[in-house]
Structure 1
Amino acid sequence: MSSQADIQAFVGLGSNCSDAENMLARAREGLSRLPDARLGAASPLYSTEPQGYAHQPWFLNQVVELLLAPFWRPQSLLAAMLHLESSLGRVRSPDPALRYGPRVIDADLLLFGEECCSDPACRVPHPRLVQRAFALVPLLDIAPHVLIDGVDAARWLARLDYRLDGRRIFQ
């Protein structure tokens, strides 16, 4: 795969199961096995406070860079990521109250090159990316100059009320 034509995508990974570190490693491995895709940079792991549904264990979160052949589209990558989640044991609860509940693995498509996609099933940039320190902090570790909707990611992060304590993110 030629790096000149690669699409640079960023994927947020998270888990709050008892074996979260292993689940993130398995997710990275699964992403690296996608056809005509290779794993680029990977952020450190962060321990992050749950959001939306507070009565659950903290998460481990990470952002990885995925370098993709030009035939990939946001929708096809998202479909592959949903299949990967399922193969790793992710079961989505039908209860809307548990939308942000515990999960064995979560893979979010954060950015897909410079593309914007308004497909309701596959919005890019991720619609809540600029609200989430647990995604922006590790994204900035591996892509310090990345733009989100034309604005530097560091400026989005500066607008958030969060605290970073080593590798722990409170928000």
Structure 2
Amino acid sequence: MSLKNIQLEHLKKHLAYISLGSNIGDSRKHLKSAREALSALPGISISSLSRVYKTEPQEIKEQPWFYNQVLCLSCHHAVTPEGLLESLLDIEKSLGRKREGVKPKGPRTIDLDLLFFDQEQCNTKELVLPHPRLHERAFVLVPLLEINPDLCLPNSLSLNTLLKSLPYRLENDKILQS
């Protein structure tokens, strides 16, 4: 590899898409705190963000509605998906997220999910990329397509196509999915 190629590779940035969600306490404040914590991570900056959507709970209906948003992060070439996931879990914990002794899919102060890291595919115990349930979630697909309408899965399936297959309604900034 030539010096020029090494230098270009060194300048390469990764793009990561993160979903944020909250339905306990001051949810908008929790989303803002999560964005600030992500921006403070070394080698990471927010390159675009969707508006905040209010979404009805999906699996456990008897809980407050969620506030959801998607961010695109520009990450230094040395940032890895595993390292970013670890940072997301640390941010969740610092913002009061409890994982022990709570219902999965239940209320939470903050939820940060790594949706995509470039077009990498990964399937380990700790991390699955792209996110394994994003195709089922209008509350992820709508804001994701807002910031990147041309985004596709690694198999070239358009996220627009996935969204069209879901039973959902968009009413201003509310996403309703049955």
TM-score bracket for this pair, using the shorter chain length = over 0.9
CA distance in 1, matches of 2:100, 2:79: 29
Is the contact between residue 93 and residue 99 of structure 1 (CA under 8 Å) also seen in structure 2?
Answer: no
The yes-or-no answer on 1:73 pairing with 2:80 is: yes
Q: Which string of whole-angstrom CA distances, capped at 9 and with x for unpartnered residues, describes residues 83-122 of structure 1? A: 0000011011435xx1000000000000100101111211
CA distance in 2, matches of 1:86, 1:158: 35
Q: Which residue of 2 aligns with 1:44?
A: 51
Letter in 2 for 1:24: L
Is the contact between residue 40 and residue 66 of structure 1 (CA under 8 Å) also seen in structure 2?
Answer: yes
Is the contact between residue 85 and residue 107 of structure 1 (CA under 8 Å) also seen in structure 2?
Answer: yes
- CA apart distance, 1:13: 0.1
- CA apart distance, 1:43: 0.2
* TM-score normalised per structure 2: 0.91
- Where does structure 1 lack aligned partners over 5 or more consecutive residues? none
DSSP 3-state at the match of 2:88: helix
CA distance in 1, matches of 2:11, 2:57: 38
CA distance in 2, matches of 1:114, 1:28: 23
- CA apart distance, 1:40: 1.0
RMSD value, Cα: 1.4
CA distance in 2, matches of 1:4, 1:156: 33
Greater shift in the superposed pair: 115-124 or 78-87:
115-124
Is the contact between residue 6 and residue 68 of structure 1 (CA under 8 Å) also seen in structure 2?
Answer: yes
DSSP 3-state at the match of 1:31: helix
CA distance in 2, matches of 1:36, 1:62: 21
Structure 1 runs (4+) deviating above 6 angstroms are none
CA distance in 2, matches of 1:49, 1:4: 41
Query: Alignment identity in percent?
Result: 42
Q: Which is higher, the Rg of structure 1 or of structure 2?
A: 2
CA distance in 1, matches of 2:100, 2:107: 10
- CA apart distance, 1:4: 5.3
